[in-house]
Amino acid sequence: MKVMVSMEEFKGQPRLPKFAVPKRYDIKLKPNLTTCKFAGSVAIELKIVADTSFIVLNAAELSIGTTSVSFTHPAAHSSNSKQQVLKPLKVDVVEEDEILVLNFGDTLPIGLGLLTIHFQGSLNDKMKGFYISTYEHNDEKKNMAVTQFKPDDARRCFPCWDEPACKATFKITLDVPSELVALSNMPIIEEKVVGDLKTVSYQESPIMSTHLVAIVVGLFDYVEHLTSDGVKVRVYCQVGKVNPGKFALDVAVRTLELYEEYFAMPYSLPKLDMVAIPDFAFGSMENYGLVTYCETALLYDVQHSTTADKQRVVIAVAHELAHQWFGNLVTMEWRTHLWLNEGFATWVSYLAADRLFPEWKVWTQFLDDYTEGLGMDGLRESHPIEVKINHASEIDEIIDSISYIKGASVIRMLQSYLGADCFQRSLASYVKKFACSNAKTEDLWAALEEESGEPVNKLMNSWTKQKGYPVVSVKVIKVKHKKLVFEQSRFLASGSHGDGQWIVPITLCRGSYDAHKNFLLQTNSGTLDMKELMSDESNLASAWVKLNVDQTGFYRVEYDEDLEARLRNAIENKYLSATDRFGILDDSFALCMARQKSFTSFFILLNAYKEELEYTVLSNLIKISYKVDRITADAAPGSSVASFFIELFLHSAMKLGWEPKPGESHLDAMLRGDVLTALAVFGHNLTLEEASSRFLAFLDDRNTPLLHPDIRKAVYVAVMRRVSTSNRFGYESLLRVYRETNLSQEKTRILSSLTSSPDPNITLEALNFLLSSEVRTQDAVLGLAVSREGRETAWTWLKNYWEHISKTWGSGYLITHFINSIVSPFATFEKAEEIQEFFASRTNSKIARTLKQSIERVHINAYWAQSFRIELQNHLAWPIERIVQTYGVIL
């Protein structure tokens, strides 16, 4: 191994040098929740494995002096040796690389040693590293100390080898105010109270990565339960808020037991704590044995939470507990393999939710995520699932829909191809083999390949190592017999040509789900004799053909006109499953947006969904309707698709009504609010009137049954749609409700509604409110989805406050929400150029990819609007009734 002799050689490197390997950390911390400072020390048992006079590890935002560092050679512990303590000649903190370089001058002895460092730091307000979160207790504002180390912020709490492959054991001791609860990864073994302080010592942890170390100090109540094999599970909440934690507790206990069976491996720690944190940038974090959550992801209040909130708790808990095996016990070797942790946990969280609550049909709802992944990966500025990380600053930008959702989708596709039983056996084998160590993507493929006998590595490399995905076009040709001809090419939302070839698991049915065929499309094209699918010649001419059955494959499908007409008929006659109706709709919309399909044909397809009642399909249709409304208004100012979509959604709204029905399904309960929100956005007068009436009743009585939590968001949006500078009552009333409630879920509902007003002045006022001290930092992004009328106001606001926004949110991934939410909805080339010019001198590595993606979306929208204008002009000679009938557009 090369011996580095100059500190300069350590700068700008993607990884730490490997001449020292940590084995054990003994960490002592003393946080001061009043001054927001902390002091600490760490004694790291490490092994010098190559000649070096340097020790290089990670540290950031810590104060470390030359005299506070020492290295003790283990020979000192022998009775025949004199203790040898080495002091570094120089201690350098390289801020841009977040490394601590210790120069000892002389070559360090090969073998074990003890590195001791004393340090000081600040409890920051950035929701990363060791930070402060605020809460109220007995009407008094208080601080709690919380850690958030993923992906690479343990270095902000203590000097360490802050890389996932550098696993070690951790012994933690805390000095904290005696009245507070102090939690860490392991159970407490001793508490010593001296005056107002107590020293809390914890059991030593099993081997784990630094990003999984966790500490929480504050005032808490808890509820607890034991799993069937004796693991103590607790949910910690603010004092007086334990009841909303009981649902998550039950889910956690059942999920741990489920995973122990699924992975054929017991949970590896003696306890599992889950904590609700008021200020939390991520939805949740899988710290080993001490899982942290934002309050909305852990707490479910029967009286005030929505059905969707309940489902979110289940998915969040199942996701983080999956990491206890897949991420914590077996850890990615490097951040290139981040997707393996997050994609897998996303996929298996749905598997767990489906096992626990089969009546929820959560796999149909996975398609909401799946579509988000397809949307991002349809951009030229997407990235492969596996991304080479060259610097720590690049990590935040790959915590996105590709790593989580495309990752989960290709795992789902592979499981569907290999079969559920084979897939589960392979995972159990993989977890057993790599327990307490690190693994790469290829290690999982090898386990699956060994069990299945299939060429998994070759198959999956085409999905993980190149960006994008294919659109598979299918058409019927008649030679001697009718044949289906398939061709694959990269799908790009811009409609432009893209390179790439995939090994595509094709699934298809013809005329019935009993007549199905599976095969791998390994080349750019292929054929299939239709007789292989149906022996009855009389039905060959009219039977529908559906590719990508149940949307298990991560690709889009384009049908020829004849096949598309048959599918429309199948939708109208309810021959297809909800997931397949969803897939046809979503693919058709994407092709229309990419200008591969006309608006005319897309609106004709939409007519087939007039009697649609399934949540999965309608929720996607509602999202599509908002985009179509925005683009048509941009393309032809004064035009409107509102009446078309109102008619489309009224059928389901009439069926669902405003009140929950006894015994109604989980999905109907979630759908009601979405449909009513859509009708409010499109200006349906009866919906706006009813919402106003119910809101007034709610202002008089916050417990009125007239405003069930499932419809509150819809009512709040409806109220805001009638707010203007001259009619501020609804806006001011919502602010009053926001200020009076202590429920996080209620606050987030209001924040996500405040910018719905069509009045730009009200939108500006609402945006300014997001920046006020009344809104928690992580919640500000909830109000960025402004009304169509408020887009220009939001863009001006973003420019005016960019310096403040960048300073407040720029250190984490939340900054990307400001750009994506405000920039992406525009639809002119001129605006794209303006955006590019503004950010030309303001871009950094944390926002570069998001900015490029957002500007690409503006270009896509602009081309789409242009296409709509051309199509509309080509039909100006038509009678107005024909235009309305064809497009759903009123001129």
Q: How far is CA 115 from each of CA 25, 69, 106, 561, 642, rounded to the nearest angstrom?
A: 10, 7, 16, 71, 68
CA distance 632 to 889: 8
The active-site residue out of 320, 333, 451, 564 is 320
Instruction: For residue 583, give the H/E element and its range.
Output: helix 578-593
- 242 CB burial (10 A radius; 0-12, 13-18, 19+): middle
Give the whole-angstrom CA distance, residue 664 versus residue 874.
Answer: 47
Task: Evaluate whether 584 touches 605 at the Cβ level (below 8 Å).
Answer: yes
Q: How far is CA 52 from the centre of its chain?
A: 42
Give the distance, in angstroms, between the CA of residue 431 and the centroid of all CA atoms in the same chain. Answer: 24
Q: For residues 210 and 113, give the distance between their C-alpha atoms in angstroms, rounded to a whole number.
A: 19
Q: How many residues does the chain have?
A: 891
What does the alpha-carbon distance between residue 462 and residue 555 come to, in Å, rounded to a whole number?
13
CB neighbourhood size of 266 (10 A): 14
- Whole-angstrom distance, CA of residue 505 vs CA of residue 522: 9
496 CB neighbour count, 10 Å cutoff: 12
Phi-psi region of 111 (alpha: psi -120 to 50; beta: other; left: phi over 0): left
Angle at which helices 599-606 and 880-887 pack, to 10 degrees? Answer: 70
Asked whether 734 and 750 are in contact (CB, 8 A), the reply is: yes
CA distances from 312 to 293, 298, 318, 350, 444 (A): 12, 8, 10, 11, 28
Among the residues of 195-326, which ranges form H helices? 246-262, 295-298, 307-323
- CA–CA distance, 596 with 391 (Å, rounded to integer): 39
Q: Which residue has the tokens 């005299």?
A: 67
Planar angle of CA 226, 227, 228, nearest 5 degrees: 120
511: left (phi over 0), alpha (psi -120 to 50) or beta: left
Q: Is-catalytic flag, 320?
A: yes
- Specify burial of residue 322 (Cβ count, 10 A radius: 0-12, 13-18, 19+): buried
Identify the DSSP state of 405: I
CA distance 453 to 276: 44
Q: Rounded CA gap, 288 and 301, in Å?
A: 27
Q: What is the DSSP string of 339-367?
A: HHHHHHHHHHHHHHHHHH-GGG-HHHHHH
For 131, other C-beta atoms within 10 Å of its C-beta total: 25
Structure tokens at 371: 């579509």
Which is it for strands 69-72 and 85-86: parallel, antiparallel or unpaired? antiparallel
455 close to 449: Cβ distance less than 8 angstroms: yes
Cis peptide before 151, with omega less than 30 degrees from 0? yes
Q: In whole angstroms, what is the distance from residue 390 CA to residue 742 CA?
A: 43
560: exposed, middle or buried (Cβ count in 10 Å: 0-12, 13-18, 19+): middle
Report residue 221 CA to chain centroid gap. Answer: 29
Say how many C-beta atoms besides its own lie within 10 A of residue 524's C-beta.
12
The residues carrying an active-site annotation are: 320
